[in-house]
Amino acid sequence: MDLNYSPEELAFRDEVRDWLTKNLPRELKQKVERYEHLSKDDLLSWHRILAAKGWVAPAWPKEWGGTGWNVVQRYIFEEELGYAGGPPLIPFGLSMCAPVLLQFGTDAQKKKFLPRIFQGQDFWCQGYSEPGSGSDLASLKTKAVRNENFYVVNGQKIWTTLAHYADWIFCLVRTDSGEKRQEGISFLLIDMKTPGITVRPLILMDGAHEVNEVFFDDVKVPVENRVHEEGKGWTVAKYLLGYERMNTGRIGASKRELEKVKEFSKNVADIRFRDRLARLEVELMALEITNLRFLDRMRRTGQPPSADVSMLKIKGTEIQQGLTELAFDAMDPTASDEFSVALRKRYLSMRKTTIYAGSNEIQRNIISKMTLGL
Catalytic residues: 244
* Cα–Cα distance measured from residue 227 to residue 59, given in angstroms and rounded to the nearest whole number: 20
Cβ distance 265 to 327 under 8 Å? yes
Q: Is 338 helix (H, G, I), strand (E, B) or coil?
A: helix
Sorted by sequence, the CB contacts under 8 Å of residue 134 that are 6+ apart come out as 158, 159, 359
3-state helix, strand, coil in the chain (%, to 5): 55, 15, 30
**Do residues 199 and 170 lie in contact, with contact meaning Cβ atoms separated by under 8 Å?**
no
**How many angstroms separate the CA atoms of 330 and 327, rounded?**
5
User: What are phi and psi for residue 48, nearest 5 degrees?
Assistant: -75, -30
Q: What stretches of 54-135 show up as alpha helix (H) in DSSP? A: 71-84, 91, 98-104, 107-119
Element (H, E) at 44: helix 40-53
Q: Coil, strand, or helix at residue 163?
A: coil
Q: How far is CA 351 from CA 286, 321, 322, in A?
A: 22, 7, 10
